[in-house]
Amino acid sequence: MKTSTALLTVGLTLVAFAVILGVIWIMQSQLQVPDKSGPNITDDREELRTCEDLGCGSDAVYVGSVNSDKYYVCSCHYADRILPENVMCFVSDSEAVEAGYEFVEC
């Protein structure tokens, strides 16, 4: 009787272990790891954006948004988030500061 109870306990333990491994396997197969080689990854840009790319003149050095009080260098990833209709272009730090903007480093 003790042998059959021990075998039953071992069998149930192995079944439980198999179920746990199956759940782990299913969970891992459902994880989606981002592909860093894709074209939508902004950290891997081949070239930096210029102020002209953002709609500013060639003399602009910084950009900000009409909806914010921050300004950035044009190659900053924050600058990419500014909608074209909201871009403010600045040719110097002093111009941006006089307009009430605060510089943010990227």
For residue 81, give the CATH number of its domain: 3.40.10
Does the model's pTM come out above 0.95?
Answer: no
Give the Cα separation of 78 and 9 in Å (integer). 60
In tens digits, the chain (106 residues) has pLDDT values of: 677 676 667 666 766 666 676 656 666 666 655 544 444 444 444 466 899 999 999 999 999 999 999 999 999 999 999 999 999 999 999 999 999 999 999 8
Count CB atoms within 10 A of the CB of residue 5: 9
Give the Cα separation of 64 and 78 in Å (integer). 9
Domains identified in the chain, total number: 2
Query: Do 69 and 87 belong together in one domain?
Result: yes
Give the tens place of pLDDT for each residue, 38-63: 444 444 444 668 999 999 999 999 99
Identify the domain containing residue 49 by its residue range. Answer: 42-103
Query: Do 28 and 46 belong together in one domain?
Result: no
Query: Do 53 and 97 belong together in one domain?
Result: yes
